[in-house]
Structure 1
Amino acid sequence: MNLPAIWAIYKFEMARFFRSILQSFVSPVISTSLYFVVFGAAIGSRIDQVEGVSYGAFIVPGLIMLSVMTQAISNASFGIYFPKFIGTIYELLSAPVNFLEIVLGFVGAAATKALFIGVVILGTAAFFVDLQIMHPVAMVIFLLLTCMSFSLLGFIIGIWARNFEQLQLVPLLVVTPLVFLGGSFYSISMLPPAWQTVAYFNPVVYLVSGFRWSFFGLADVPIAVSLLAIAGFTAICLAAVWWIFKTGWRIRT
């Protein structure tokens, strides 16, 4: 394992993040505050509690998941796409660095950035609602797995994308709608039976449900199923990345 190479890639990506630390810090704080104003105040005034939890606190896990998923995808996809765009990816491929070390550097940096955003949003939410985390270890595990898996997805998107517009295609048209329809701001049990069945085909439901369980002990699906879902998603992304580097798909051409 070439640790200096991993550290060099990781440090380079993190340096780009810290150059815009004000935007990286202020933007999620403002966005989270707006969500609490719109959902917490406007809708929360009509929905007092959801399964015994105040609505303002109930939406916190969903808000964190929404921001963490989108930030992980965005950072990882841009991180690998930009070297492709300017041609420095070939210097990286010709260096004595294998694909695992490249992935660890880029994905590790993107996951760290997403984790930072998640912590910032959690801290911001504490100013609006009274939060109690029943299973802090499980919360950290779910947060880390989500950051890692969606950073891997972002890495794949960055390899797939041929232009900057395609970088935003999947996050805006696929991931964000899935998060909003995945029980982020409501419980699946509130839906009619037919729509509950449809919702269970949404993979984000399992992530949000498991993450919310770590806060309140409430879940739309069993916690073991949530863990299996995110582990399976991570495995699929790892297999896809391995295939990309093995075949050179959209890297060497």
Structure 2
Amino acid sequence: MNFHAIRAIYNFEMARTWRTLLQSIIAPVISTSLYFVVFGAAIGSRIAQVDGVSYGAFIVPGLVMLSLLTQSISNASFGIYFPKFTGTIYELLSAPVSYREIVISYVGAAASKSILLGLIILATAGLFVPLHIEHPLWMILFLVLTAVTFSLFGFIIGIWADNFEKLQLVPLLIITPLTFLGGSFYSIKMLPPVWHTISLFNPVVYLISGFRWSFYGTADVHITVSLAMTLAFLAVFLGIVAWIFKTGYRLKS
């Protein structure tokens, strides 16, 4: 394992975050804070508790997960697409760096940025609502697993995309709607039976449910199911990345 190469690529990607601090950190935190103001304060004051939790506190895990998913995909997809766009990806592929080290570097940097952002948003949420985390280790586990899993997904999108518009296609048209419909602002138990069943086909439901359970001990699906689904997504994306490097898909042309 070439740790020098991993550290060099990782540090380069993290340095880009500090150069674009306004876009990478400050903007997502401000937009999430607006959700707290609108949903938590304005609307939340008119809604009774959900599963014994105040509405303002109930939406915190969903909002963190919303930012975590979108930022993980965005960071990883842009990180690998830009070298393709400039042509420097071929220098990287011809260097004495294995595919495994490339994935660890780019995905690790994207996941680190997302985890940092998630923790900042959690701290920001504490300014608006009282936070209580019943299972902090489980919370960290879901935070890390989700960040790594969807950074891998973003890595795949960055390799697949052949223009900047496609980088935003999946997050805007698929991930964001699935997150809003996955119980970010409500419990799927509140839905009619038919829509409750349909919601269970939404993969984001399991991520938000498991993450919310780590806060309040309440969830829409059992914690073991949420964890199993998260690990399944991770395995699928790892398999796709392995196939991409094995076949050279969108890398050797």
TM-score, structure 1 length as denominator?
0.99
Matched with 2:213 is 213
| SS in structure 2 at match of 1:69 | helix
Taking the TM superposition and a 5 Å limit, the aligned residue runs for 1:122-141 are: 122-141=122-141
Q: After superposition, where does 1:187-206 map in structure 2 within 5 Å?
A: 187-206=187-206
CA distance in structure 2 between the partners assigned to 1:32 and 1:141 by the alignment: 22
Match of 1:181 in 2: 181
Deviation >4 Å, runs of 4+: none
Counterpart for residue 89 of structure 1: 89
Residue of structure 1 in register with 2:78 after alignment: 78
Q: Which amino acid aligns with 1:81?
A: Y
Give the alignment of 1:48-59 within 5 angstroms.
Answer: 48-59=48-59
The equivalent residue for 2:111 is: 111
8 Å CA contact retained: 1:28, 1:120 = no
Q: Please list the CA deviations of residues 39-84 of structure 1 after superposition, one character each: whole Å capped at 9, or x if unmatched.
A: 1122212212101100000000000000010000000000000000
Q: CA offsets per residue over residues 213-250 of structure 1, 9 Å max, x none?
A: 00000010010000000000000000000000000000
| Aligned residue identity for 1:63 | L
Q: Deviations over 1:109-151 (max 9, x none)?
A: 0000000110110000000000010000000000000000000
Equivalent-residue separation in structure 2 for 1:111 and 1:183 (angstroms): 23
Question: 1:200 corresponds to which letter in structure 2?
Answer: L
Tell me whether 23-32 or 167-176 shows the greater mean CA deviation: 23-32
Counterpart of 1:221, as a letter, is: V
Please tell me whether the aligned partners of residues 134 and 214 of structure 1 are also in contact (alpha carbons under 8 angstroms): yes
1-structure distance, mates of 2:23, 2:248? 35
Q: How does 1:1-253 map to 2 (within 5 A)?
A: 1-253=1-253
Q: CA deviation at 1:108?
A: 0.2
Rounded Cα–Cα distance in structure 2 between residues aligned with 1:63 and 1:236 = 25
Q: How many residues are paired up?
A: 253
TM-score, length of structure 2 as denominator length: 0.99
Amino acid at match of 1:170: V
Cα distance, 1:7 vs. partner? 0.6
Which runs of no fewer than 5 residues in structure 2 stay unpaired?
none
Instruction: State how far apart, in whole Å, the 1-side matches of 2:25 and 2:190 are.
Output: 34
* Unaligned 5+ runs, structure 1: none
Aligned Cα RMSD in Å? 0.7
